[in-house]
Structure 1
Amino acid sequence: MSAFIDTCDIWVVVYRLDGRDRQWVRALPPLAEAQVRALLLEELDELYGTRAELVSLRQAEDAERATLMAGGLPMCPVATPPEPPAG
């Protein structure tokens, strides 16, 4: 897997699904940001239709990439942390 990842750009994708913030970390071949955005918008539309919207897109930071390469999940908090249940 490492050889494949070495040839990719790692993207952090923040999107909203049914009003809730969600996040993906995606390894994609080197593409311009506009191409990545178009690809992800198409994927969100295919998966969720009008229920999802792309909030932000950025390349992973070096520390996030290193964590992913070590077999972990990069630390990428969602845009808004979940609120504890009332009561």
Structure 2
Amino acid sequence: MAFFRNSTTWVIDYRYEGRSRRWVKVFSAGLEPTSQVCEELRALHGDRATLVQVRVATAEEESQFLRGEGPRNVLCPTGRSAVGGNG
């Protein structure tokens, strides 16, 4: 019953100072967010970050995101640890 959804969950893989990183973010349905993600990475990290891949999350990845079980290698721009201290 996906007809009611107005958003899509995306997985964003990038490298920050040579280390693999991953974001899981939600964007409006029908939006292809690659250019927006590139701009956001550039604003947050300048030349230190390189986009690797932007893709729609699998059902399992989306479920993990909704349960708050985000990627373990998240680098928070504020310097805080990831949720649950798994940062």
**Residues 29-40 of structure 1: matches in 2 within 5 Å?**
29-33=28-32, 36-40=33-37
- Given the superposition, is the C-alpha separation of residues 53 and 75 from structure 1 closer, same or farther in structure 2, using an over 3 Å criterion? closer
- Given the superposition, is the C-alpha separation of residues 51 and 13 from structure 1 closer, same or farther in structure 2, using an over 3 Å criterion? same
The percent of aligned pairs where both chains have the same amino acid is: 34
Runs of 4+ off more than 4 Å: 74-78
Deviation of the 1:72 alpha carbon? 2.9
* RMSD (Å) for aligned C-alpha atoms: 2.3
CA contact (8 A) 1:14 1:24 kept: yes
Give TM-score, length-normalised by structure 1: 0.68
1:6-28 CA distances to partner (integer Å, 9 max, x unpaired)? 42100000000111110100011
Structure 2: 5+ residue runs without aligned partners? 75-87
- Given the superposition, is the C-alpha separation of residues 76 and 64 from structure 1 closer, same or farther in structure 2, using an over 3 Å criterion? farther
Determine the structure 1 residue equivalent to 2:23: 24
| Equivalent residues, number | 70
Partner SS for 1:66 = helix
Q: 2:59 aligns with which of 62, 75, 86?
A: 62
Determine the structure 2 residue equivalent to 1:44: 41
Cα distance in 2 for residues equivalent to 1:67 and 1:52: 25
Deviation of the 1:68 alpha carbon? 2.7
The aligned amino acid for 1:67 is Q
Give TM-score, length-normalised by structure 2: 0.68
